Amino acid sequence: MCEFRRSRRPGRRRRGAVAGLTAAALVMVAALTGCDVPGPSAQRGPVKRPQPSPTPVWDRSPASLAAVGDSITRGFDACRLFSDCPEVSWATGTDTAVRSLAQRLLGPAAAAERAWNHARSGARMADLPGQMAQAAARRPELVTVMVGANDACRDSPEQMTPVAEFTGTFTSALGALRRTAPRTQVYVSSVPDLERLWSTGRGNPLGRQIWKLGICASMLGDADDLSTAAQERRALVQDRVVAYNRALKSVCAKDLRCRYDGGDVFDYRFTGAQLSPWDWFHPSKDGQRRLAEIAYRNITAARPPA
């Protein structure tokens, strides 16, 4: 145990010199003995050390699952023309060729009983709070989120959902879940790279004809038009998708039980084999299987994606 004693108060003329020597001596003694030098903070009481940040809680083997989102999670155009095909959904599907996330986490039998799909084709971020409330009512251990493509896929870039609105609504959606299911985990998929989907699908004549019906016109409209105006239009949509993904990541990072995919879906290079043979835009059964692989890898990883 170390103890430092102060000498008697020196006279006025020598006070500065003695104080300097005393301080130097204390530092030297502390260095030799490993003791702390008493200072102003020691005189006021113990120093409050900063508390470490809470460690995120993540269960890599949840026992139930609910999915929210849009047409991708509904398996739209993966089995039938212009129809939902939830049995091949990457999140909750029952098709063993896809091996959905639910099947991989829970097993086929349990997935049929403890996995629920609340996604809706055509849904935008504005629909997410309602879907989250439905999912929360089931008290699932995990909720998957894939939404945002329809916020960018509008008739024109001017109609895209503003980033601030997108961010605020996603925050509200998580709040809706937390009010009922505070311990439920949330896995958030990034919005796919719409410009890459345009680049991949525009080489297919059938796909281009289907796109003329109005599928994601802000990006896919006039698919063969490579003029400056068309390229600027597509760049606006792509920039908005990137901004949406930043918002998803930022909001998710504030929730201890939320894990973002690190942009893995956005970065995935869908080929013709992974796109629907009917619209060359939505994932095919093989594309759904790849999405399930990405989600399973990220959910069961010891650490979240960077």
Q: What tens digit of pLDDT does each residue of 209-267 get?
A: 999 999 999 999 999 999 999 999 999 999 999 999 999 999 999 999 999 999 999 99
Q: Are residues 142 and 263 in the same domain?
A: yes
Q: Are residues 6 and 146 in the same domain?
A: no
Q: Are residues 38 and 84 in the same domain?
A: no
pLDDT value for 50: 60
Secondary structure percentages of the chain, helix, strand, coil, to 5:
45, 5, 45
In this structure, is residue 55 part of a structural domain?
A: no
Each residue of 147-164: b (16+ CB within 10 Å) or e? bbbbbbbbeebeebbeee
- Closest to 221 in 3D by CA, of 212, 231, 209: 212
pLDDT value for 54: 55
**Boundary of a domain, candidates 49, 74, 89:** 49
Instruction: Report the C-alpha gap between 129 and 170 in whole angstroms.
Output: 8
- Write phi, then psi, for 145 (nearest 5 degrees): -125, 125
3-state SS class at 124: coil
Q: Are residues 228 and 81 in the same domain?
A: yes
Q: In total, how many domains does the chain have?
A: 2
3-state SS class at 106: helix
Q: Calculate helix-pair angle for 194-201, 228-253, nearest 10 degrees.
A: 140
Q: Are residues 97 and 178 in the same domain?
A: yes
Dig out the tokens for 153 from the structure.
């896929």
Q: Are residues 277 and 216 in the same domain?
A: yes
Q: Are residues 255 and 158 in the same domain?
A: yes
In this structure, is residue 14 part of a structural domain?
A: yes
In this structure, is residue 23 part of a structural domain?
A: yes
- Closest to 294 in 3D by CA, of 104, 109, 135: 104
In this structure, is residue 22 part of a structural domain?
A: yes
pLDDT value for 56: 57
The answer for residues whose C-beta is within 8 angstroms of residue 203's C-beta and 6 or more apart is: none
pLDDT value for 221: 95
Q: Are residues 169 and 43 in the same domain?
A: no
Residue 291: Cβ within 10 Å count: 28
Number of H helices, E strands in the chain: 13, 5
The residue ranges of the chain whose pLDDT is under 70 are: 1-56
Q: Are residues 150 and 242 in the same domain?
A: yes
Residue 222: Cβ within 10 Å count: 15
Instruction: Report the C-alpha gap between 84 and 76 in whole angstroms.
Output: 4
In this structure, is residue 188 part of a structural domain?
A: yes
- Give pLDDT tens digits for 56-66: 589 999 999 99
Dig out the tokens for 20 from the structure.
């300097």
Q: Are residues 11 and 76 in the same domain?
A: no
CA geometry: angle at 304 spanning 114 and 67, to 5°?
25
pLDDT value for 42: 45
In this structure, is residue 239 part of a structural domain?
A: yes
Which amino acid is located at 128 in the chain? L
Boundaries of domain holding 6: 1-49
In this structure, is residue 147 part of a structural domain?
A: yes
In this structure, is residue 54 part of a structural domain?
A: no
pLDDT value for 48: 58
Alpha helix locations (H) across 39-182? 40-44, 101-106, 108-114, 128-136, 149-152, 163-180
pLDDT value for 49: 62
| CATH number of the domain encompassing residue 171 | 3.40.50.1110
User: DSSP code of 276?
Assistant: -
pLDDT value for 206: 87
Which secondary-structure segment (H or E) carries 84?
none
Q: Are residues 38 and 105 in the same domain?
A: no
Q: Are residues 107 and 15 in the same domain?
A: no
